[in-house]
Amino acid sequence: MFQNLRSIKLLMLLSVIAVTAVVAACGGNETVVETVIVVATPTPGGSGAAAASPTAAPVDPSKLPDSKSASGSVTMAIIGAALDTGGGSLPDAPMAAARQWGAGESLFTPSATEFDTPMLAESWDLASDLSTVDITIRKGVKFHSNNGDWGELKAEDIAWVINQTNPSLNPESIAASAANFSALFGDVPVVAIDEYTIRGTFNNYDVRWASNLLNQEASGGLPSIATPKKAFDDNGRDWLRDHFVGTGPFQLKEFKAGTSATFEKVPYKHWRKDASIDIFKVISVPEESTRIALLQTGEVDVSFIDPKDLALMKASGYMEVSAGQGTQEGVMFPGNLWEATNALTGEALDFPSHGVYVRAQPWTGNPWEPEDDDNPAGMDDMEQARLVRQAFARAVDRDAIVEFVLGGVGFPNHVTYFSTKNVNWDSQYEYPYNPTEANSLLDQAGYPKGDDGIRFQMPLFVGPELGGGSGPAGEIGDAIAGFWAELGIDVQVLKYAYAVFRPGLVSRTTVVPMLTSCDDGAESRPFDWPKGLVQTTLTRGGFSCGFEAPEILDWYKLSSSEPDIAERVRINKEYLAYMHNWALFPGFVTVPNTNFANPKHIKEWPMHLGGSYNSPENIVLK
């Protein structure tokens, strides 16, 4: 054990934040300025012990504010990334968060305990050879009518949505994780075989076709939200990009990009659930202190809360509302492209001239030209890069990040996609915190410290999960960079828009490490589910983790077609051992996705399994 386990140089900067709340009054605006809380913000640098939780005093639960929302209305504050997309329902560029906001619906949905509950699907017939599936959709499902009369949902609408989303059929598709449809269906369109039945022909059968890929909580936010093909045919791409037409209990009333989205209860009896509230509004509030202030003054009724402030909100009497999922934050290392053939097309991949290998990076291994000028004697480029990634995995004190950055909430993660709380987890796949060993590994890899104490420079991009750079993920990224700096790595933490970074993942041209959960880094994902789809060439043309390996492809294919759960667990344990050894995606912490509501306004908010929140149609007011 290490005596200096907490000498991690995290400085807690204490600052009193004055928050200005603008309150609309009859006949004019009244500005009220209040000093709300003292916020503790962890950042790398400095030394000495740090407080493990915010220093703000909790509010007396008996003095919670009255809601300032209109009767029958709920306002929720989010960090805001979900509002950065457009407000339409064009399948290849949709407002994917409409599923969370009660406006969009998919074929399947999780329930409180299961993942493959039918939603828009009524029944299905899976071919015995797993080559096709016929899905019958529900009759009488009405499209929203506030942007025109689009009638009833039919099979041709669902087929069109899936095909428009699939980049193998529509190269313009930029929908989140759309290439998962390329892997599932290839370039064979889903077809309507009658008025209410679609047929999908599998390119690569995946046991998760209903429980994940065609689901309300699909990996990476992959959307298959029902929207009318007629709206596209009559009004065109641009109109549907700007106008949302779905089938959920709420319809979109107003969308302000980057600012807010307001939904209203549909004016007819909904096929599934009549919303219990009239208006649901989400607003973008990037600053944690402001979100807390708005909740404490009654300006909002629900708010996403950073982990470090969960204890404060509980002590103040606010009600926790969550879908029960934690986000696993790990660092993936793009540029490690090790497959020789495109698994979708069968074509050979030309890697000697590929951009990721034009300039060697310490964390990328080149199996195509494994000998280069900076390899130590007797060590090829693959082993050299593996040692570097192993060093990064072992240099971070995960417990300290949980304590100092997350306020004691959450827990360590070691290999992304695998929960350390799962009964199948094996502690041999943990990366013990050992900076001495990490330094030794970098020395062995041929990267000694220079006279200035620096071994090499590297960037670290903070992905969009948990609010991206402006949310808890930004603080986690800073902390990881601080530990790596102790090794002599000059780390530049990048916190710009994910939309700017994403094209490099799609084209497989980036070598920038990224803090992310990369689709499936979620506590709610079962251990036996097939792993690594977006770490293979099966998703070429769409999103990926930026690295590919033939072994991962083989394990994914085996597990995706394996009906036996125990056998899938066995296969995934082989994948786990491989990922631990090659350290392509070491995990660091699991962060709870938690929101808090004002119990003076909201009585309950039942949700299904999933991400941070969903199903606002279930909100019951006091």
- 425: CATH: 3.10.105.10
- 408 close to 522: Cβ distance less than 8 angstroms: no
- 159 close to 191: Cβ distance less than 8 angstroms: yes
Closest CA to 616 of 39, 93, 103, 27: 103
The identity of residue 560, as a single letter, is S
Per cent of the chain over pLDDT 70 is 90
Q: Which residue has the higher pLDDT, 50 or 237?
A: 237
Residue 414 has pLDDT above 90, yes or no: yes
Other CB atoms within 10 A of residue 432 CB: 13
- Please compute the mean of the pLDDT values over residues 68-95 and round it to a whole number: 91
- Please state whether beta strands 456-462 and 595-597 pair in parallel, antiparallel, or not at all (unpaired): unpaired
Could you tell me if residue 72 is left (phi over 0), alpha (psi between -120 and 50 degrees) or otherwise beta? left
Same domain, 316 and 240: no
Same domain, 544 and 518: yes
Distance CA 163, CA 529 (A): 25
Query: What tokens does 337 get?
Result: 């492209």
- 302 close to 97: Cβ distance less than 8 angstroms: no
Q: Which pLDDT belongs to residue 251?
A: 98
In a domain, 608, yes or no: no
In a domain, 616, yes or no: no
Q: What is the DSSP string of 78-129?
A: E-SGGGSS-SS--TTS--GGGGTTTS---SEE--SS-S-EESSEEEEEE-TT
Residue 31 has pLDDT above 80, yes or no: no
Residue 1 has pLDDT above 60, yes or no: no
Query: What tokens does 529 get?
Result: 């589910």
Final residue belonging to a domain, choices 276, 302, 336: 276
Same domain, 435 and 579: yes
Assign 3-state DSSP to the chain and report helix, strand, coil percentages, each to 5.
30, 25, 50
In a domain, 615, yes or no: no
The domain in which residue 124 lies consists of 81-276
Same domain, 336 and 449: yes
Q: What are phi and psi for residue 244, nearest 5 degrees?
A: -95, 125
Same domain, 439 and 356: yes
Query: What tokens does 245 get?
Result: 């037409």
In a domain, 528, yes or no: yes
Q: Which pLDDT belongs to residue 535?
A: 98
Distance CA 208, CA 43 (A): 40
* CATH number of the domain that residue 202 is part of: 3.40.190.10
* 557-566 pLDDT, tens digit each: 999 999 999 9
Same domain, 268 and 307: no
Same domain, 43 and 111: no
Q: Which pLDDT belongs to residue 23?
A: 30
pLDDT category at 467 given cuts 50, 70, 90 is: confident
Q: How far is CA 265 from CA 102, 103, 247, in A?
A: 9, 9, 11
pLDDT category at 374 given cuts 50, 70, 90 is: confident
pLDDT category at 46 given cuts 50, 70, 90 is: very low
Same domain, 272 and 297: no
- The DSSP call for residue 562 is -
Query: What tokens does 344 get?
Result: 């979708």
Distance CA 34, CA 580 (A): 49
Per DSSP, which regions of 257-295 are E strands? 260-265, 279-284
- Please compute the mean of the pLDDT values over residues 94-111 and round it to a whole number: 94
Could you tell me if residue 367 is left (phi over 0), alpha (psi between -120 and 50 degrees) or otherwise beta? alpha
- Please compute the mean of the pLDDT values over residues 435-452 and round it to a whole number: 98
pLDDT category at 363 given cuts 50, 70, 90 is: very high
pLDDT category at 4 given cuts 50, 70, 90 is: very low
- The DSSP call for residue 337 is B
CA 149 centroid distance within chain: 34
- 536 close to 339: Cβ distance less than 8 angstroms: yes
- Please compute the mean of the pLDDT values over residues 577-593 and round it to a whole number: 97
pLDDT category at 11 given cuts 50, 70, 90 is: very low
Final residue belonging to a domain, choices 294, 325, 356: 325
- The DSSP call for residue 537 is G
Same domain, 485 and 560: yes
In a domain, 476, yes or no: yes
Q: Which of 75-84, 90-99, 268-277, 340-349 has the highest mean pLDDT?
A: 268-277
Number of domains in the chain: 3
Q: Which pLDDT belongs to residue 560?
A: 97
- 594 close to 258: Cβ distance less than 8 angstroms: no
Same domain, 263 and 412: no
Q: Which pLDDT belongs to residue 48?
A: 31
pTM for the whole structure: 0.87
Computed over every residue of the chain, the mean pLDDT equals 89
Residue 186 has pLDDT above 50, yes or no: yes
Same domain, 101 and 46: no
Query: What tokens does 104 get?
Result: 């969009």
Distance CA 610, CA 97 (A): 13
In a domain, 558, yes or no: yes
Q: Which pLDDT belongs to residue 353?
A: 58
In a domain, 52, yes or no: yes
CA 122 centroid distance within chain: 28
Per cent of the chain over pLDDT 90 is 79
In a domain, 607, yes or no: no
Note the helical H segments in 425-466.
435-444
Same domain, 348 and 494: yes
Q: What are phi and psi for residue 582, nearest 5 degrees?
A: -85, -10
Residue 45 has pLDDT above 50, yes or no: no
Closest CA to 506 of 59, 195, 177: 177
- 430 close to 368: Cβ distance less than 8 angstroms: no
- Please compute the mean of the pLDDT values over residues 498-504 and round it to a whole number: 93
